[in-house]
Chain A
Amino acid sequence: MKKLMALFLAAAMMLSMTACGSSEPAAEGGSTETEKVLFIGGTGPLTGDYATYGTSVKQGAELAAEEINADGGFADGWTVKVRVEDDQADGAQAVQAYATLFDDGMDVTLGGTTSGACIAITEEAVKDNMLLLTPSGSQLECTQYDNCFRVCFEDSAQGLYAANFIKDNAVAEKVAIIYDKSNDYSNGLRNSFVATAAENGLEIVADEAFTNQSNTDFSVQLQAVKESGADLLFLPIYAQEAAYIITQADKAGLDVTFFGCDGLDGILEKIGQDNLPLAEGVMLLTPFAADSETEPTKSFTAAYKAKYGATPDQFAADAYDAVYAIIAAFEKAGVTPEDEGFNQAMIDAMLEIEVVGTTGTMRWDASGEPDKNATAVVIVDGVYVSYDNVK
C-alpha cells in the first residue's frame, strides 16, 4: 500500500513537473496581457520527514487551480497556474525556492507550508510587497507583515477556540492538560487555553508538563490526571507524544476523552496498527472535516479522492481555500499584474473579501488572521468524523 502510494506520488510529481516544464515558455516573464495567467507560487516539504504536509498543500492547491481553469477561468478570461517547490521544511531552501519562483514571474505567493519556512519567506516577500497567503503556517510570525495572511488558525487562537468549543458544547466539565514545556507551539496553545478557560469558567483540574528530554515516560503526569478526576485531557502537542500518552493512559486505567489541535493530526499513523482501537474517540479541533455534508467541502473531498485516491487532510483543504481566496482577491482588486500597484491592490482586497471555503467562511483583518469557526472531528472506526455527525 505504502509502495503503491509512493509510486503514485512519484508519478504525480513527475507529471506535474512536465506540466510545469511545458507551460514554462508560455508564461515567460510572468503573465502578459495576451496570456492572462495568474501565477501562484508556494513552497513546502515534498521530500523528507514532513513530506506529507507539503504534498497535501501541493495537491490541494493544484486541484483548486484545475477546477478553476476547467470552469473557464475567472475575471474575463484569466486562468491560474500553481507551482509548489520543495523546501524540505527548511528556511534557507524556502527562500531559495521563493527566489526561483519570483524570477519565473510569480504574482502571488502561498509562502511556506511549515511555520519556520514560511517565516523565512515573509522576510523576502515583504521586500517585494507581494501578497502572501500561507495555507498552514500557524506560528504568530508567519503573518508578521502587512502583506502576510493565513488560512489556518494561529497557534494561540487554537487554544482559545479549543477552550470555547469544549465549554460551548459541554464536551467536559473538568479538564486536565499535558503539554510540552520545551516547545513554543505547545506553550502558546496551552497558555491561551488556560487564559480562555479562566474567562469562560471551564474548570482546569490538572496542568502537567513534560520536556523534550522526558517525552517517553508519562506515568507521573497520567497519575496526576487520574487523581484530579478530569473527564477530558487536553493535549496541545504533536502526534508522537500523544501516541505515548494515549497508550500509557490505557495501561494506567485512565478513562478520559482526549482532545487535541492540529498537532494531533496524524495520530492514526503514529499510534500504530496494534493500538488503533485506543485512538477511538480522540477529538481534534480543526476547521476542516472531510466528511462534512456542506458545500464546498463535500465536492472538494469527492474531487480530491477521485484525483489522488486519498481523503484530504487539513493541509490540502487550507491550500485549496488559499487558491480560491487569492482568485477572489484578484477579482475584487480588478487589476492585472502589469498594473502599477498590483501588489498593494491585492493586499487591500484581502481585507474586503469573504470566502466560503472548505475550512469555513473566512474574512481577514489587517493582522492577517482569518475569522472563521472552528469545529471538531472525532475518530470513529479509524476515520475522522465531524463532531456534529457523532452528536
Chain B
Amino acid sequence: MSFLSNLISGLSLGSIYALIALGYTMVYGIAKMLNFAHGDVIMVGAFTVIVAVNSMGLPAVLGIVLSVLICVVMGVTIERIAYKPLRSSPPLSVLITAIGVSYFLQSLALIIFGSTQKSFPKVFNMEPVHLGELTIKGESIETLVVTTAIMIGLTLFINKTKMGKAMRAVSEDRAAAELMGISVNKTITVTFAIGSALASVAGLFFGATYGFIGPYTGSMPGIKAFVAAVFGGIGSIPGAMLGGILLGVIENLAKAYISTELSDAIVFGVLVLVLCLKPTGLLGKKINEKV
C-alpha cells in the first residue's frame, strides 16, 4: 500500500516537473537557449492566483485564467526585452541574462509579497479518495488528469497544426525555415507563450499540492525540471514528459526506501549514469554536426 501511495505522489510530483520541463525543452529546441528564469514563472503564476482569489475575491476559475494570461504576457515580454536583443550573441551571454531575469523575478516578488510564505487558496476542492487502505490526495488525481490532457493536446498541436509544423521546422534548421517563409520571431514568441502557460499551470498544481508559495518557491522545481529535460533529452517533447515523470518517481521512491537526505543525490546520480550511457538523454536525437 505504501509503495502504491508513494508511487502516486511521485507521479504527481513528476507531472509538475514534466509541465515545467516542457517549457525548458521547447525553448531550447526552438530558440537554442536555456531559459533559467522559467522556474520562477511558476512562482509568478501561483502568486497571481493568490492575489486574485484571496485579495481580490475573484472566483477560482477566473484566478486560474488570469494567472495563465499574466504568465503568457510576462513570458513573451521577457523574451522581447531580455533575450531577443541577444539572439545573435554567444550562448553564454543569453544564459547569464536568463539567470539575471530569474533573480529579478525573485527579488521583485520579495519586495511585493515579503519573505513570509503565503498560503495558497483552495482552488480545487477535491476530497481524498480512499481505496481500501490506500488514500489518494485529490490534488494528485487532478494533477495527473490535467497533465495527461495537456500533454496529449500539446503533442497534437506540435504534430497536426501549421504552427506546430513551423516550430518543428525552426527547431530543425532556423535559417532554412526562414527561407521557406516561416517567421522565426513569431514562432519563438508562440513557444515562449506556450512554455509560460504550462509553467503557470505547474505553479497552480504546485500551490494546490504543497499549500504555500514564497518568492523562492520556483527555483528548486525549476532546477529539477531542467534536470528532467536533460534526462529525457533536451529539445525532445516526449523526452521532457518522460524525464519529468521518471524524475518525480525516482525522487519519491528514493526518499521512501533509501534515504530522505540522499534523495537528491540519487536523482542526480541517475542523471549522470543516463548521460554516460546515452549522452543525448533518454529520447534525445543524435545530432550530427554539419561540417
Decide if B252 touches A220 in the complex (CB within 8 Å). yes
Chain B neighbourhood of A216, CB < 8 A: 210, 212, 217, 220
Name, among A181, A219, A273, the residue most crowded by chain B CB atoms within 10 Å (CB to CB): A219
B148 in contact (CB, < 8 A): no
Beta-carbon contacts of A208-220 to B below 8 Å, as 1s and 0s?
Answer: 1111011011011
A180 to B: closest C-beta gap in Å:
10
A244 in contact (CB, < 8 A): yes
Q: Give residues 111-147 of B contacting A (CB, 8 Å).
A: 115-119, 121-122, 128, 130, 135, 137-139
Q: Which of B5, B119, B260 interacts with A275 by CB under 8 Å?
A: B119
A239 to B: closest C-beta gap in Å:
10
With contacts A220-B9, A223-B2 known, is A243 near B212, CB below 8 A?
yes
Decide if A214 touches B9 in the complex (CB within 8 Å). no
Decide if B116 touches A270 in the complex (CB within 8 Å). yes
Residue positions of A touching B, CB distance < 8 A: 49, 181, 208-211, 213-214, 216-217, 219-221, 223-224, 226-227, 240, 243-244, 247-248, 251-253, 269-275
B211 in contact (CB, < 8 A): yes
With contacts A208-B260, A220-B256, A274-B122 known, is A247 near B5, CB below 8 A?
no
A50 to B: closest C-beta gap in Å:
10
Chain A neighbourhood of B210, CB < 8 A: 216-217, 244, 248
Q: Which residue of B has the minimal Cβ distance to A243?
A: B212
Chain A neighbourhood of B139, CB < 8 A: 251
With contacts A223-B256, A227-B2, A251-B138 known, what are 9 further pairs, Cβ within 8 A?
A: A217-B210, A223-B6, A224-B2, A243-B117, A243-B119, A247-B211, A248-B210, A251-B137, A274-B121
Alpha-carbon separation in the docked complex, A208 to B211 (Å): 20
28 A–B contacts, CB within 8 A, in A order: A208-B260, A209-B260, A210-B261, A213-B264, A214-B255, A217-B9, A217-B13, A219-B9, A219-B13, A219-B137, A220-B252, A220-B256, A223-B2, A223-B5, A226-B135, A240-B117, A243-B117, A248-B210, A251-B137, A251-B209, A253-B130, A253-B135, A270-B117, A271-B119, A272-B118, A273-B119, A274-B122, A275-B211
Chain A neighbourhood of B263, CB < 8 A: 214
A206 to B: closest C-beta gap in Å:
11
Decide if A213 touches B119 in the complex (CB within 8 Å). no
Q: Which of A208, A240, A252 interacts with B212 by CB under 8 Å?
A: A240
Chain B neighbourhood of A244, CB < 8 A: 210-212
B267 to A: closest C-beta gap in Å:
10
| Those 4 A-B pairs whose CB atoms lie nearest each other, nearest first | A272-B119, A219-B9, A253-B135, A247-B211
Q: Which residue of A has the minimal Cβ distance to B259?
A: A209
Q: Give residues 212-249 of B contacting A (CB, 8 Å).
A: 212, 217, 220
Chain A neighbourhood of B211, CB < 8 A: 243-244, 247-248, 275
Q: Which of A209, A243, A252 interacts with B261 by CB under 8 Å?
A: A209
Q: Which residue of A has the minimal Cβ distance to B252?
A: A220
Alpha-carbon separation in the docked complex, A275 to B118 (Å): 11
A278 to B: closest C-beta gap in Å:
10
Alpha-carbon separation in the docked complex, A216 to B119 (Å): 12
Decide if A223 touches B9 in the complex (CB within 8 Å). yes
Alpha-carbon separation in the docked complex, A217 to B252 (Å): 9
Q: Which residue of A has the minimal Cβ distance to B135?
A: A253
A213 to B: closest C-beta gap in Å:
6
Decide if A220 touches B6 in the complex (CB within 8 Å). yes
Alpha-carbon separation in the docked complex, A60 to B137 (Å): 44
Alpha-carbon separation in the docked complex, A7 to B274 (Å): 58
Chain B neighbourhood of A208, CB < 8 A: 260
Decide if B260 touches A220 in the complex (CB within 8 Å). yes
Decide if A220 touches B255 in the complex (CB within 8 Å). yes
Alpha-carbon separation in the docked complex, A236 to B260 (Å): 17
Chain B neighbourhood of A213, CB < 8 A: 220, 264
B129 to A: closest C-beta gap in Å:
10
Chain A neighbourhood of B13, CB < 8 A: 217, 219
Q: Give residues 8-27 of B contacting A (CB, 8 Å).
A: 9, 13
Chain B neighbourhood of A217, CB < 8 A: 9, 13, 209-210
B106 to A: closest C-beta gap in Å:
16
Name, among A223, A224, A227, A248, the residue most crowded by chain B CB atoms within 10 Å (CB to CB): A223
Alpha-carbon separation in the docked complex, A251 to B120 (Å): 14
B79 to A: closest C-beta gap in Å:
28
Alpha-carbon separation in the docked complex, A223 to B121 (Å): 24
Alpha-carbon separation in the docked complex, A190 to B252 (Å): 24
Chain B neighbourhood of A274, CB < 8 A: 54, 119, 121-122
Name, among A244, A251, A273, the residue most crowded by chain B CB atoms within 10 Å (CB to CB): A251
Alpha-carbon separation in the docked complex, A253 to B121 (Å): 19
Chain A neighbourhood of B5, CB < 8 A: 223
Q: Which residue of A has the minimal Cβ distance to B221?
A: A216
B212 to A: closest C-beta gap in Å:
6
